[in-house]
């Protein structure tokens, strides 16, 4: 059995209910949810919109990495995510990201380093995203990143130190 770490989040609709449904569907279709963080709110990353609510999940699975990806993308679709509409909105606004009812990212898959056309694990921007590191730190602060070797707590500390050094407005 592998341990996969997911980040679920959203900022439209009944996000609390959607995250609860996502957790249940992950438990049913991906594997047993071993631990989950509280929900944390944050500003959108990379665009303007409503605040996001995010939650980290540690899951025991017998699915291969791309099977996990397929399963979580089906769950997103069932819970109202419309990637085609998102693509149109991104084209219209020029933003890299848009509001959505649910997003489920694979942060870690055991200590695997995966770089395929469809999937990159560990998540390539994890160390840049406080909204992911905070819930992750709650459930596994000592977890080491398989590439950098830093713990989740160290990545969060480094990110916070870096952001405190940035001048206002940058």
Instruction: Name the residues annotated as catalytic.
Output: 81, 100, 103, 105
Are the C-beta atoms of residues 11 and 51 closer than 8 Å to each other? yes
| 60 vs 54: CA distance, rounded Å | 20
Helices (H) and strands (E) in the chain, counts: 5, 7
| 112 vs 70: CA distance, rounded Å | 18
Are the C-beta atoms of residues 62 and 80 closer than 8 Å to each other? no
Nearest to 55 by CA among 145, 138, 122: 138
């Amino acid at each position: 059995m592998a341990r996969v770490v997911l980040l679920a989040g959203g900022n439209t609709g009944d996000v609390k209910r959607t995250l609860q449904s996502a957790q249940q569907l992950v438990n049913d279709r991906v594997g047993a949810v071993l631990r989950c963080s509280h929900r944390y709110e944050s500003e959108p990353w990379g665009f303007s919109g409503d605040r996001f609510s995010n939650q980290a999940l540690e899951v025991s699975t017998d699915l291969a990495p791309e099977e996990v990806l397929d399963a979580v993308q089906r769950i997103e679709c069932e819970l109202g995510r419309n990637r085609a509409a998102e693509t149109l909105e991104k084209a219209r606004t020029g933003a890299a990201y848009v509001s959505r009812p649910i997003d489920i990212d694979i942060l870690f898959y055991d200590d695997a380093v995966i770089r395929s056309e469809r999937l990159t694990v560990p998540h390539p921007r994890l160390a840049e995203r406080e909204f992911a590191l905070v819930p992750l730190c709650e459930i596994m602060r000592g977890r080491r990143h398989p590439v950098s070797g830093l713990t989740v707590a160290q990545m969060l500390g480094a990110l916070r130190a870096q952001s405190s050094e940035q001048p206002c407005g940058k």
